[in-house]
Amino acid sequence: MPIRRRRGWDLPAHALTPEAAVLDRRRVLAALGLGAGTVAAGAFGLRTAFGQGRDPIGWWEAQVGNDPTRDLYPATRTGTYTLDRPLTEPREAITYNNFYEFGSHKGIWQAAQRLPLRPWTLTIDGLVATPRTVDIDELIRRFPLEERHYRFRCVEAWAMAVPWTGFPLAELVRWAEPLGSAKYIVFDTFQDARVAPGFRQTWYPWPYQDGLTIAEAMNELSLMVTGIYGKPLPPQMGAPLRVITPWKYGFKQPKSIVRISFTDQRPVSFWEKLQGNEYGFWANVNPEVPHPRWSQATERMLGTGERRPTLIWNGYGEYVAHLYDGLTGERLFA
Ligand code: MTE
């Protein structure tokens, strides 16, 4: 997302890494037995010869052969969620990405091939009956996968329509057994400076993080996504696990999630920390609420370049508008 450029030395006070966060990261690395320079490479792990100059589709198909869950794809489509536009060409969706860990431009697909997808674990903690850490393959096999065709709208006004594969976030929440006091769910994403150069840009408040209310997480549209176009996700689209909430702008949908925490405190997300006057907690799509620097009235479809009118709630009002009844005084659309 466009941010105001600062000179390298011109760090805003809020962008400084808090000492506690640095210490915490050291503790995590120590607990994992990883010192500086240690490379954790396993089966389907760190890829050194990645797709420089390769065809993105051919490269992806070759990688899928290594995925331990490939037998689960393609999943059966849930017909309930229909589109008003054609699906975006896979090549367009997998080569035009926002993944700031790998660069602050759209052409990061090759750089993202360095992300080691296995071993990968998801930690579930905070206000839950029993905190736990689960292996990603065990998690993916725990919940039946389904395919859903959803619109996707980035706050930058580009859009796509894609077939995601995943399972309802509500199922994961129920399995996590949050305590009655939990009000929010927070998604933390991977943070490993050995594979992603973005972490050296210390003015960003890493790790990429965002959250939802428990009611939003329990909504039937909220999906934990493991695949796209009938295959496991490619790294650049958030493998092995991301979240999709199609009525919200894309920045509310973290990729490559490693931790899900339940809390009673409203989280302040990556973009909100960076530019709270432009990006807030709710970020629901609304054509009538412009971004401070551009209109949201229309959107540009990836691939075709077609301009379409933006839909309130990205067209999903019948499922989600009720979640916001009575929330007056909140910036619901930023
Ligand atoms: N997740 C992580 N970890 N890092 C990111 O930079 N960018 C967000 C979101 N999730 C981002 C992220 C933004 S701004 C958008 S628009 C979408 O991912 C883009 O998803 P896509 O590139 O898979 O289409």
Q: Count CB neighbours of 92 within 10 A.
A: 14
Centre of ligand 1 to C-alpha 111, Å, is 15
**In a mutational test of the pocket of ligand 1, which residue from 100, 255, 301 has the highest number of ligand atoms less than 8 Å from its CB?**
255
Centre of ligand 1 to C-alpha 218, Å, is 21
| Distance in angstroms between the alpha carbons of the first and the last residue of the chain | 14
pTM here?
Answer: 0.88
Q: Which residue has the tokens 């973009």?
A: 271
Q: Which atom of ligand 1 is nearest to the CA of 156?
A: 16
Residue nearest to atom 17 of ligand 1 (CA): 250
Task: Average the pLDDT over 45-63 and give the result.
Answer: 72
Q: Which atom of ligand 1 is nearest to the CA of 96?
A: 22
> Would you call 8 exposed, middle or buried from its count of C-beta atoms within 10 A (0-12, 13-18, 19+)?
exposed
Query: Do you find a cis peptide bond into 12, omega within 30 degrees of 0?
Result: no
pLDDT digits (tens, 9 = 90+) for 290-319: 999 999 999 999 999 999 999 999 999 999
Residue nearest to atom 16 of ligand 1 (CA): 250
Centre of ligand 1 to C-alpha 311, Å, is 20
Ligand 1 binding site (Cβ under 6 Å of any ligand atom): 1, 97-101, 154, 189, 208, 237-238, 250-251, 253-256
Show the tokens assigned to 21.
């966060």
Distance between CA atoms of residues 273 and 15, nearest Å: 8
Q: Which atom of ligand 1 is nearest to the CA of 237?
A: 23
Confidence tier at 54 by pLDDT (50, 70, 90)? confident
Distance between CA atoms of residues 185 and 176, nearest Å: 11
Looking at the predicted structure, is the pLDDT value of residue 24 above 50?
no
Centre of ligand 1 to C-alpha 69, Å, is 23
Q: Which residue has the tokens 């019948």?
A: 318
Predicted local distance difference test score (pLDDT) of residue 35: 34
pLDDT digits (tens, 9 = 90+) for 232-289: 999 999 999 999 999 999 999 999 999 999 999 999 999 999 999 999 999 999 999 9
Task: Average the pLDDT over 142-146 and give the result.
Answer: 98
Overall CATH class of domain 13-321: alpha beta
Show the tokens assigned to 322.
């009720």
Centre of ligand 1 to C-alpha 1, Å, is 9
pLDDT digits (tens, 9 = 90+) for 190-236: 999 999 999 999 999 999 999 999 999 999 999 999 999 999 999 99
Centre of ligand 1 to C-alpha 180, Å, is 31
> Would you call 246 exposed, middle or buried from its count of C-beta atoms within 10 A (0-12, 13-18, 19+)?
buried
Q: Are 263 and 183 in contact, with CB atoms under 8 Å apart?
A: yes
Centre of ligand 1 to C-alpha 254, Å, is 6
